[in-house]
Amino acid sequence: MALEEFENEELTDREKNLVRMKSITNYVMGVFFIGVGFAFLFPPAAMIKTLEGYDPTMIKLFAFICFIYGAFRIYRGYAKNYFRS
């Protein structure tokens, strides 16, 4: 069986449900990490006192990494290529 034939095969119902659950999980985690990035970049009043002891550059770097990882998780949920090698 050639690789092209494998890619054109239909997914079973179990695989479709698995793809749907992984996709939803990736969307939710992506939104969560983007929210964490916003929380560190624009901290609410309750977090300001806690973050004062840390380097502002490192906080911004962490927020940027959270944005990038959240965007990656949302893209991975959108792409839905879980069973392709």
Q: What is the pLDDT of residues 14-56, one digit of tens each?
A: 888 888 999 999 999 999 999 999 999 999 988 899 899 999 9
Q: Is residue 2 part of a domain?
A: no
Q: Is residue 68 part of a domain?
A: yes
Q: Is residue 42 part of a domain?
A: yes
Chain centroid, CA 49 distance in Å = 28
Q: Are 27 and 74 in contact (CB under 8 A)?
A: yes
Q: Is residue 58 part of a domain?
A: yes
Q: Is residue 6 part of a domain?
A: no
Q: What is the DSSP letter of 10?
A: P
pTM above 0.75, yes or no: yes
> Which range marks the domain in which residue 67 is found?
14-79
pLDDT at 70 over 50: yes
Report the number of distinct structural domains present in the chain. Answer: 1
Q: What local confidence, expressed as pLDDT, does residue 12 receive?
A: 84
Q: Are 59 and 40 in contact (CB under 8 A)?
A: yes
Q: Is residue 50 part of a domain?
A: yes
- Angstrom distance (rounded) from CA 74 to CA 25: 9
Q: What local confidence, expressed as pLDDT, does residue 7 receive?
A: 61
Q: Is residue 85 part of a domain?
A: no
Element at 14 (helix H, strand E): helix 13-41
